[in-house]
Amino acid sequence: MPVTVLLVDDEPLVRAGLRAVLEAQPDIEVVGEAADGAAVIPLVRRLRPDVVAMDVRMPLMDGIEATRAVLRTVAEPPKILVVTTFEDDEYVYEALRAGADGFLLKRARPAEIVHAVRLVAEGESLLFPASVRRLAVRYGDGARPAPATPPHTRLTEREAEVLRLMARGLSNAEIAARLVVGAETVKSHVSAVLAKLGARDRTQAVIAAYESGFMESG
């Protein structure tokens, strides 16, 4: 049985592109399309797709809200693959907290897109294997509910600098030497990066840096 996919994106061009890429695969079938998050829930109920490829920015209901809505209201929810651009990286964290199973860059090559759909369909988290649930837990059943003002997820300049060095294989001590700061300072930045990326350790952060295209913008 093929993997069934529902496309949710306000741009017809993007939907057409995704459809072309995915339908070229014998084991993947696009069963429907929606132009806004607001239309997702009834479609999911009717079509029961395995995977929803969900855009982030949409006019009525964005992908984050739509993800939350689907996971909250549908009995056996589909896997949510958030489709985004690196410019949207501030939403990535939100998407993960909302329960998304992975995210994918629009600039990704066709093979990667196909790969991503297959992976999440198999139940794999595309980017952060365990941290998705970890974050959900941490903010979900904590003493106080999730803060109304979400933590700022956009990396600061310094944090981005640290991540770049991490992703080149430097240790904390080496980064400290390079930036001419104390080792504890680097630890602080690393911790902030891990939190913002939803990564459990530096390896996952580096994976995020590569997968998101962060490493190509330098």
Give the residues lining the site for its own copies (CB under 8 A).
111-112, 124, 127-131, 166-171, 174, 199-204, 206-207, 210, 216
Is position 97 an interface residue for DNA (rule: CB under 7 A)? Answer: no
The one among 187, 207, 213, 215 contacting DNA by CB under 7 A: 187
Residue among 110, 151, 101, 155 nearest 128 (CA): 101
For 17-153, list the strands marked E by DSSP.
28-34, 51-55, 79-84, 102-105
Minimum gap (Å) between residue 217 Cβ and its own copies: 10
Verify binding: residue 173, DNA, rule CB under 7 A. yes
Handedness of CA 204, 205, 211, 212 (dihedral sign): positive
Of 116, 194, 197, 209, which one interacts with DNA (CB under 7 A)?
A: 194
**Contact partner, 129, from its own copies, DNA, none, Cβ < 5-8 Å per class:** its own copies
The two counts, helices (H) then strands (E), for the chain are 10, 5
Q: How far apart are CA 31 and CA 47, in angstroms?
A: 7
CA distance 107 to 100: 19
Residue 76 as a binder of DNA (CB under 7 A): the answer is: no
The residues that touch DNA, with contacts defined as CB under 7 A, are 149, 152, 154, 156-159, 171-173, 179, 181-182, 184-185, 187-191, 194-195, 200-203
